[in-house]
Amino acid sequence: MTCPHLPEGFDATDPDLLSRRVPLPEFAELRRTAPVWWCPQPRGITGFDDEGYWAVTRHADVKYVSTHPELFSSHENTAVIRFNEHIGREQIDVQKLIMLNMDPPEHTRVRQIVQRGFTPRAIRGLETALRTRARAIAEEARGAAAQDPDGAFDFVTRVAVELPLQAIAELIGVPQEDRSRIFDWSNKMVAYDDPEYAITEEVGVEAAMELIGYAMNMAAARKECPAQDIVSQLVAAEGQGNLSSDEFGFFVLLLAVAGNETTRNAISHGMHAFLTHPDQWELYKRERPATTAEEIVRWATPVVSFQRTAAQDTELGGQKIKKGDRIGLFYSSANNDPEVFGNPEVFDITRDPNPHLGFGGGGPHFCLGKSLAVKEIDLIFDALADVLPDLTLAGEPRRLRAAWLNGVKELRVRTAS
């Protein structure tokens, strides 16, 4: 294996790098010359701290790690450890309450319970409300454009932010009057990596605690008095087959983190991709291919990377991995692997098959909200194609500063009419 040609000090979890671009050329170099590569000095803020990690960049290897939880554990995620630093480990064992950081068999138990809220029937049940929301969001954006002398508006705040928040609120049945508080807490939790938002880590953790408290109260109320909703289904009769109030509180926290910024960025990047590939926007408006949302997620790959920890000594891509070593799974790289995708650099909304790993590598932690996310993306672009068919770019996107997200914080667009 030859030495990769990378910029001095290269680290794909460096927020300064990700605030400028996703390092696709460096990923291509790594896939070619060192597909499992030791990065000695990570800078990721909520990422890998200072320990060093193995960067896994090929599609096949990302899938292998994701589907072998006995070798590669999800326990000990750095973000959770930092959360614990604030609240104190003695108070709550956060590690045991967030499914994203659990391993089988505990993860299997919780996953089986929460899956009830994400059945095709449950998602279909949200469709009418979300379709109406998506239409209203597009119409309000058109109204904002009409008020602006240049016909311009920020797509992220006017369009991409709201539907994912509404979807989670609909899913767990948050009453309308409480939604602005939930949205405020959720936004504070995801934004504190970026200094421009001037939100400190303490504010983020405080918002998380308030959200957890709110959800626990919801759970307690439904236990007293069950209703025909998902919260009641998950918590009603506490025991083997249900969540405790604590578990429900942390599950809602996970939804607010996992389902919010991810879908928002898929929508923002999707719009940017359409506006920079007008042939695809024309095709979408004409035919609305059912394959569109999957290609948007491949193209955007909102979650650049996730991590695992080696649970035992093992081998991967010819490298000896030691128990306790950190592993970075680079979905952005896997989704551009030419071994799997013909012309990965082409945005093609008719791409089929499209075995991208944007929602994870197919193991036990595969994205629980995938069907909901795909539905949201379909509904918002459907509404935009009807209500704002003539959008054009009004500036370059401004990117979020984050260690593992491909984020857009501003995307100026304008209407021609």
* Binding of residue 334 to ligand HEM (CB under 6 A): no
* Binding of residue 381 to ligand HEM (CB under 6 A): no
For the residues of 92-118, what is the DSSP string, one character each?
A: --GGGT-GGG--TTHHHHHHHHHGGGG
Task: Give the residue, chosen from 59, 269, 272, 365, that forms a contact with ligand HEM under the rule CB under 6 A.
Answer: 365
3-state secondary structure of 298: helix
Number of residues that bind ligand HEM (CB under 6 A): 28
| Helices 245-258, 201-224: crossing angle, 10 deg rounding | 130
C-alpha dihedral, 382 to 384 to 385 to 390, nearest 10°: -170
Q: Which is nearer to ligand HEM, 255 or 349 (CB)?
A: 255
Nearest C-alpha neighbor of 59 from the set 268, 321, 401, 353: 353
* Binding of residue 262 to ligand HEM (CB under 6 A): yes
* Binding of residue 321 to ligand HEM (CB under 6 A): no
**Smallest separation, CB 259 to ligand HEM (Å):** 3
Euclidean distance between CA atoms 280 and 273, whole angstroms: 9
Q: Return the range that interacts with ligand HEM (CB under 6 A); candidates 7-15, 258-266, 312-320, 381-389.
A: 258-266
Euclidean distance between CA atoms 207 and 92, whole angstroms: 17
Cβ-count burial of 315 within 10 angstroms (0-12 exposed, 13-18 middle, 19+ buried)? Answer: exposed
Task: Give the residue, chosen from 46, 73, 77, 263, that forms a contact with ligand HEM under the rule CB under 6 A.
Answer: 263
Task: Give the residue, chosen from 22, 168, 205, 231, that forms a contact with ligand HEM under the rule CB under 6 A.
Answer: 168
* Binding of residue 358 to ligand HEM (CB under 6 A): yes
Q: Which is nearer to ligand HEM, 161 or 255 (CB)?
A: 255
The helices-and-strands tally (H runs, E runs) of the chain is 17, 12
* Binding of residue 111 to ligand HEM (CB under 6 A): yes
Strand order of the β-sheet with 412-415 is 152-154, 412-415, 391-393
3-state secondary structure of 56: strand
* Contact call for residues 99 and 69 (beta carbons, < 8 A): no
**Smallest separation, CB 371 to ligand HEM (Å):** 9
Task: Give the residue, chosen from 367, 389, 412, 414, that forms a contact with ligand HEM under the rule CB under 6 A.
Answer: 367
Q: Return the range that interacts with ligand HEM (CB under 6 A); candidates 149-157, 353-361, 387-395, 404-412.
A: 353-361
* Binding of residue 332 to ligand HEM (CB under 6 A): no
Euclidean distance between CA atoms 406 and 295, whole angstroms: 15
Task: Give the residue, chosen from 235, 266, 384, 400, that forms a contact with ligand HEM under the rule CB under 6 A.
Answer: 266
Nearest C-alpha neighbor of 189 from the set 274, 104, 254: 254
Tokens coding 7:
């910029």
* Contact call for residues 255 and 369 (beta carbons, < 8 A): yes
**Smallest separation, CB 390 to ligand HEM (Å):** 26
* Binding of residue 369 to ligand HEM (CB under 6 A): yes
* Binding of residue 99 to ligand HEM (CB under 6 A): yes
Q: Which is nearer to ligand HEM, 204 or 302 (CB)?
A: 302
Tokens coding 239:
């025991």
In the stretch 214-253, what mask flags binding to ligand HEM with x, by CB under 6 A? ----------------------------------------
Which backbone phi and psi does 174 adopt, to 5 degrees? -75, 125
Q: Return the range that interacts with ligand HEM (CB under 6 A); candidates 13-21, 88-96, 208-216, 355-363.
A: 355-363
Task: Give the residue, chosen from 66, 280, 309, 335, that forms a contact with ligand HEM under the rule CB under 6 A.
Answer: 66
**Smallest separation, CB 1 to ligand HEM (Å):** 27
Binding site for ligand HEM (CB under 6 A): 66, 99-100, 111, 168, 254-255, 258-259, 262-263, 266, 297, 302-303, 306, 358-361, 363, 365-369, 372-373
